Amino acid sequence: MKVLVAVKRVIDYNVKVRVKSDKTGVETANVKMSMNPFDEIAVEEAVRLKEAGKADEIVAVSMGVTQCQETLRTAFAMGADRGIHVLTDAELQPLAVAKLLKAIIDEEKPDLVILGKQAIDDDSNQTGQMLAGLLGWPQGTFASKLDVGDGSLQVTREIDGGLETEKLTMPAIITTDLRLNEPRYASLPNIMKAKRKPIDQKAPEDYGVDIAPRLKTLKVTEPPKREGGVKVGSVDELVEKLRNEAGVI
């Protein structure tokens, strides 16, 4: 079984994001970048499938600027076998990413595609669903448990009312939730080996995909600063503040 995993380069989750002075986006210059945490979970799940003897090859895919190769090397250090880098400086929105992934999948013909449920930079949570729609494949989103059988897989997914278990036929699309697994730290020998694993560099034109943005960002602003809380001495005082100051009752 071949598993394809998509990985995105994003601002590291430990970094405090700052809005640009012209409010056109967030500041990325001289900011630490890393693999999207949900994509780390996706890579880890693929590696576990390979360790269990259920997968033969893991192909990692990343799209964007040249530095995305560092993200692919991280995936290699975790256990991915080879990578595909779609090089572009253009803004890639979820539909464009889904179309590029579909073109790659048509060439690679994987049995299973695993993506993070969302990226922590735009929080779109759209690419996996769009990809499943373009391919006409079954999908298991927000997966917290994955059991792969012979030609099928069972997905436990988190929903508002609790847990839902689905059985999907392969090929299929899976998007990962936080509780699916805990990604491993790459060992030094694997980091060294990752430098020698192959990356096939492509361009959007190679796949004949139009990546022009469908959405336009008008303005990016910081959320309003939260005001400090206050203590009240009685229920009557609380009701008075809620009615006259907060205006919620």
Q: Which tokens go with 197?
A: 């694993």
pLDDT at 209: 92
Which among 184, 113, 182, 177 is positioned nearest to 144, based on CA atoms?
177
- The dihedral sign for the CA sequence 131, 118, 42, 93: positive
pLDDT at 110: 96
Report if pTM > 0.95. no
CB atoms within 10 A of CB 99: 20
- Distance CA(14)–CA(38), nearest Å, equals 14
Burial of residue 108 (number of CB atoms within 10 Å: 0-12, 13-18, 19+): middle
pLDDT at 249: 81
Exposure b/e, 161-190, CB count within 10 A at least 16 = b: eeeeeeebebbbbbbbbeebbebeebeeee
Per the CB < 8 A criterion, the answer to whether 55 and 3 are in contact is: yes
pLDDT per residue as tens, the chain (249 positions): 999 999 999 999 999 989 998 988 888 888 999 999 999 999 999 999 999 999 999 999 999 999 999 999 999 999 999 999 999 999 899 999 999 999 999 999 999 999 999 999 989 999 999 999 999 999 999 999 999 988 899 999 988 888 999 999 999 999 999 999 999 998 999 999 999 999 999 999 999 999 999 988 899 988 888 888 888 899 999 999 899 887 888
Query: Taking the domains of the chain in order of start, what are their residue ranges?
Result: 2-246
Three-class SS state of 145: strand
Task: Tell which CATH classification among 3.50.50.60, 3.30.70.100, 3.40.50.620, 3.40.50.300 matches the domain 2-246.
Answer: 3.40.50.620
